[in-house]
Structure 1
Amino acid sequence: MKTLVVVLGPTGVGKTELCIKAARHVNSPIINSDSRQIYAEIPVGTAAPTQEQQREVTHYFVGIRTVKDDYSAAKYEEEALQLIETLFHQGHDTLLLTGGSMMYIDAVCNGIDDIPTVDPETRELLKRKLAEEGLPRLVEELKVLDPEHYHIVDRKNPRRVVHALEICYMTGKTYTSFRTQKNKERPFKILKIGLNRDRSELYERINARVTTMFDHGLIDECKRVYPYRECNALNTVGYKETFLYLDGLLTLEETIRQIQSNTRQYMRKQLTWFKRDPKTRWFQPDNLEEIMNYIDENT
């Protein structure tokens, strides 16, 4: 049976290095499921595969969009499934998908709810309301229009709150009513491999990785995309803090410390999310032979 091997794990654990070896082992390209590595202008802050790594193994969904583009997990689900079908049809028996974006991995493995696409008028209306009235006012409005979603949404995340209200405004129905949360069947086997390390080692790797990003030009990268800082693609750890540095609101040392701290926090969130799936088999990234044997035995 055709098999999609999904290698997941927290940021900084070492997915890229291992997956290049695994992809060569199973004769597969690498399908990226990192939601920020998709954008062409920000390879440094997203730790995207280098040009050399991409020459070693073909990578898909790396640097294919601009930060000005609207892109979503739903769009990724559609495009990734089309690619997977094509690659299987071309003769691959095993394909490798890897990343740390929880929603993107879930989109491919389980499918996501068919939420209506928001029209430009509604999007502009809610954008204006957020600017004029502020997030707390919109949160209270969501409590009235969709109390069930109000109790589970991240009420400090303006994007989540606004999107739910957009659906309420546009359809006259609650956002909750579109959330079936039913897994969709896939015409291929899914084998999930989780990578993890000792927590202190992960912290050290994340701290070192952030420092390396600055050594490799993160500030210059942020200067180039500064005019687009309000785009959703840049509403992420590494860019938000560095924009504050460019605004003169943080020192360089404070910026680095904040990115390290926020990345560690995100890493913990990733692990909590990934460990909900009992079908994932966990490994130390350094146990290459054990991981390859597991793939061979189950594909």
Structure 2
Amino acid sequence: MTPTPRTITAAAAGSWTLGDRVVHRIGFGAMRLAQTGAALVPGAVARDRGQAVGVLRRAVELGVNHLDTAAFYFSPLRSANELINRALSPYPDDLVIATKVGQPRDPSGAWLPHARPDQLRGLVEENLRQLGRDHLDLVNLRVVGDGSVAERFGALAELRTAGLVRHLGLSNVQPHQLAEAQGVAPVVCVQNMYGLGVRPEQDALVELCREQGVAFVPFYAIAAAGRQYGAGAEEHPEVVEVARAHGASPAQVRIAWTLHRGPHVLAIPGTGDPAHLEANVAAGGLRLSAAELAQLDALHRR
């Protein structure tokens, strides 16, 4: 059994160099920060501002220095970027804030068509204003479909040259799109839906990113098939068995398995609950045995 460390710290998960910035492999995803219940659903209930601010500050206290956010993470009364600004500005020197642009939402929360290349600067500037920054550490182009990304990624590369963006990545991307983008500008990370039993066909892309030194940042790693609605009540017996052996929760086992996929994999579990935050960060110190990993890998490929 691997005991939960008495002192919970994101450093237990190890580190990775994201572009030229070193981050702990356990980060924080802000998708659920602005609202309770299902994320990115129109009409969602706004989360208590004080609770959200407290969770962000506690995450930094626990050593989290990689935040994932977007201007389209909002509820009727809250935006994740505004909460991050309120909670953490002036920002710690080692904090890396990653955001996404590409497909905005209207005020009701409904998704709009994918942004044209000439609209991307406005979306980047929206994130800059909300976060109170003069540049963004990392911007991921959110991709819809399997078409060319060269023109849109090129527009972001121009903003990188202009100093508004430090590093670029891709979200919801396919291998041929990664290769196309790399012909335009350096790609420091790929952010795709992935987790234990979720899209095992992504295994090859995870390995490709490892070979190329590109960070792989999975989302919905805990929620699995529940996606924006969160994890379901039922869990696979194999996951429950491993969790019991470690005195951990199934969610912690899912995070640990994700991190075991490679040193380049960065977890970004999100929550608005302080207790869940501490459990998620503690999962970075969970070490699974070779037998346990084999058992979970078989479940993943089932």
- Per the normalisation by structure 2, the TM-score is 0.25
Pick the structure with more helix per residue.
1
Larger Rg: 1
TM-score normalized with structure 1 length: 0.25
